[in-house]
Amino acid sequence: MSDQDTVQEYLQVVATVREFVEEQMELGFAVLAEPESAEPENPSPFAGFDISRLRDEAMACERCELHATRNTVVFGTGNDKADLMFVGEAPGADEDQQGEPFVGRAGQLLTKIIMAMGLTRDDVYIANIIKCRPPGNRNPKPVEIETCEPFLLKQVELIQPKVICALGSFAAQALLHTDEKISRLRGRFHDYHGAKLMPTYHPAFLLRNPHSKREVWEDMKKVMAELGPGGNTDTGQ
């Protein structure tokens, strides 16, 4: 077949397709029908769960080795309709004993930060990427993050916060799937499953480096501006 014949055949195909599209549009079809979307590759294992059922599932979880050394599961606490959600790395010793996130010295500082924003812990939601304390407060293993992440994703889906504040390098890097330093991540918003994510320094880091409190406060001011006046919380009332 010559080049001219190939071009002629191509133009004939194009003309046929154009005629078909115009005919469909005349019949009232604005666009061609699309095939039904395929099922998501990794559907949530908690489809249909509400926050209470999700908590019950987490409390009984034995999906990774951390269940053998934990004292209790630290699911999360606060307003489950909050516009603002804080996410840390994992429970520490105090949290493992009390079953509530951020209750030690770092937690006390976080409470002060929240209060400085004109809120209380009951106005926001606080959780961790990992729901069980790693032995010796070591960093969570990749398999532990992968195993526990569906719980956090479902929490975000149910709570639907406008803004998520990632506390510290580990939380920010795990949520954003990056190895970029917190000093480069903080100070600007990132997209995360329909919410705006603001990384900032961990309160424990601030206890060791109080000069960085100013930078955290600058981050919190951006968070407050994003939430807007009167839009910090949603009590559902």
pLDDT for 165: 98
- Let me know if residue 181 belongs to a domain: yes
Task: Give the H or E element holding residue 191.
Answer: strand 190-192
Cα 164 from Cα 166, distance rounded (Å): 6
pLDDT for 28: 60
What is the domain range of residue 111? Answer: 51-227
What token pair was written down for 140? 């969570």
Closest to 70 measured CA to CA, from 34, 99, 36: 99
- Let me know if residue 12 belongs to a domain: no
The CATH number linked to 181 is 3.40.470.10
pLDDT for 166: 98
Write out residues in the chain with pLDDT < 70, as ranges. 1-42, 230-237
Instruction: Using DSSP, state whether 84 is helix, strand or coil.
Output: strand
pLDDT for 16: 65
* Residue 157 near residue 109, CB atoms below 8 Å: no
pLDDT for 157: 96
- Let me know if residue 84 belongs to a domain: yes
Cα 64 from Cα 26, distance rounded (Å): 59
Number of domains comprising the chain: 1
pLDDT for 187: 97
pLDDT for 193: 93
